[in-house]
Amino acid sequence: MLIADHIARLCAGAFAELCAIYVRASPGPPIAFATRDPGRYQNLSEAPLDDRYADLARAAGLDRVLNQPLVVDGSAMGSVVLAASTTSRLAEVTPELCESICSILSNAIAQALQLDHHHRVSERLQRAMLPTRLADVSGIAFDAAYRPASSEAEVGGDWYDAFDIGNGTIGISVGDVTGHGLEAAITMSEIRSAIRAAAATHSSPVALLDAVEMMVSSQGLGVASAIAGIYDSTTRVLRYACAGHPPPVLVTSSGEAYLLPGGGLLLGLGQPASSPERTLTIAPGATCFFYTDGLTEHHRDLLAGEERLLSALEAMASQGALTAEELHARIIGAGPNLDDCATLVLRQDHTGATAVERYTFSSLPNSARLARDSIRSFAQRCGVDSMRLFDVVIAGGEAVANAIEHGSASPGTTFSIELAAGPAQMLVRVESAGHWRTAPSQTDRGRGVAIIRTCAKNVEIRSSAERTQLTMTFDVR
């Protein structure tokens, strides 16, 4: 206990040659010990306060020992021992001064115990407001963890949730209400319940968050960040939207961590809050992490926090330890954390791998890396040799880049990839909305289709006003 150490040092420095503080809850050595001469009195630093203590003190040259009971809330809790030789100033110390020291220490201990009790009760209340169980669907697994702020005795407003909507569809929400205390906890519970209710009637995460925003603003519940997602366990497609919330992170089966798009405005500001809808297919063996900003702002530097998060997840993936508790341990450790932190993990197992796979992604530049990784992973699982693997990834990457750049630019637009493998050949089909737009003439660009034709065995392009489809086949070996 820090206050006991501090008082022991003050006493030893001011008028005693030795000060030891004992509590009955910790039998044996003192919980705090200070002396002017550590070498001379070292044997007393580990000595219990028993019948032999006076003899040990005299053997060390301490012929004057004062033992004052330590009383907390009317109950004897321990003792404060002051010791010195008869030539020291301790001879001038009165029992009244010893009683004053014990009174100060007793009040400090009582306050610390009360604060600790308050913190434990608050944490239990916070955890009671979080879901007791997460959605249970074959092929995926959910994992979650909550870490309260170390210096905050009040409950917080962070939450996580994963719940069944029906027909293999899972609702996901993670969020953070501004502030602490009972009001923040109540607001957290109301918003989490509102997201569950809205998920039953809104098939779009954007519409879902906008409906919740209207409720939060109209009722004056405060301000909160949130991410809401709808996951189809049959197609493995995740659609999500953010309301001023940190973006999720996807860890692929190969162990690479990708920071996904975020954005949006906070709930409670009186205007549409959510970002555009984001879409991605979670490949077999991939893991998606949703979290609150207590994880990335642990050291008050958001950019450094995001880098630390990605590095930690890739290190965890290399060791096969992709859990929420492990992530908290790596980022926060055993030390104090400045803010509450909630993390939800969605893990897709490897059994979803088949001879034909379909992927859907938002038509955004940062989807290109995920799409290439999906093509590479499928080709490797299908036994494509290293030389052909290079051709497949290069051609597939060019087709994806064209789909993103030249397809429809409408918000929320997606493109799809179909992958199929046979004994001798592999097929890659990339389809996007709209007729591919012609890019401005540039000397260093415009060679994508030529590269695709060079890498693939066969190439077929079908384009109309509604969609463009590019189909490539490759020899497996």
> How do residues 285-303 score in pLDDT, each as one tens digit?
999 999 999 888 766 677 8
Q: Give residue 162's pLDDT.
A: 96
CA atoms within 13 A on the CB side of 362: 20
CATH code matching the domain that covers 130-352, chosen among 3.40.190.10, 1.20.1440.230, 3.30.565.10, 3.60.40.10: 3.60.40.10
How far is Cα 238 from Cα 288, in angstroms, rounded to an integer?
Answer: 10
What are the backbone angles phi and psi of residue 277, rounded to the nearest 5°? -70, 135
pLDDT category of residue 69 using cuts at 50, 70 and 90: confident
Write out the two tokens for 276: 């555009």
pLDDT category of residue 144 using cuts at 50, 70 and 90: very high
Mean per-residue pLDDT for 441-446? 54
Mean per-residue pLDDT for 105-123? 67
Q: Give residue 428's pLDDT.
A: 96
Q: Give residue 189's pLDDT.
A: 87
How far is Cα 470 from Cα 465, in angstroms, rounded to an integer?
Answer: 15
- pLDDT over 90 (residue 58): no
Q: Give residue 446's pLDDT.
A: 59
Q: Give residue 4's pLDDT.
A: 82
Q: Which of 201-205, 301-305, 337-341 has the highest mean pLDDT?
A: 201-205
Give the global pTM. 0.74
Residue ranges of the domains in the chain?
Answer: 2-124, 130-352, 357-475
pLDDT in tens, 25-34: 667 889 889 8
CATH architecture of 2-124: 2-Layer Sandwich (3.30)
CA atoms within 13 A on the CB side of 79: 16
Query: Could you tell me which residue, 128 or 219, shows the higher pLDDT?
Result: 219
In this chain, the answer to whether the domains covering 2-124 and 357-475 adopt an identical fold is no
Residues 283 and 376: beta-carbon distance below 8 Å? no
pLDDT category of residue 123 using cuts at 50, 70 and 90: low
Mean per-residue pLDDT for 427-442? 77
Q: Give residue 155's pLDDT.
A: 63
Q: Give residue 150's pLDDT.
A: 61
pLDDT category of residue 54 using cuts at 50, 70 and 90: confident
Q: Give residue 394's pLDDT.
A: 94
Please state which of the ranges 144-158, 242-256, 369-383 shows the lowest mean pLDDT: 144-158
pLDDT in tens, 230-245: 999 999 999 999 999 9
What are the backbone angles phi and psi of residue 456, rounded to the nearest 5°? -95, 155
Mean per-residue pLDDT for 58-83? 82
Q: Give residue 226's pLDDT.
A: 96
Q: Give residue 77's pLDDT.
A: 80
- pLDDT over 70 (residue 128): no
Mean pLDDT computed over every residue of the chain = 85
pLDDT category of residue 151 using cuts at 50, 70 and 90: low
Assign domain 357-475 to its CATH superfamily: Histidine kinase-like ATPase, C-terminal domain (3.30.565.10)
Q: Give residue 139's pLDDT.
A: 87
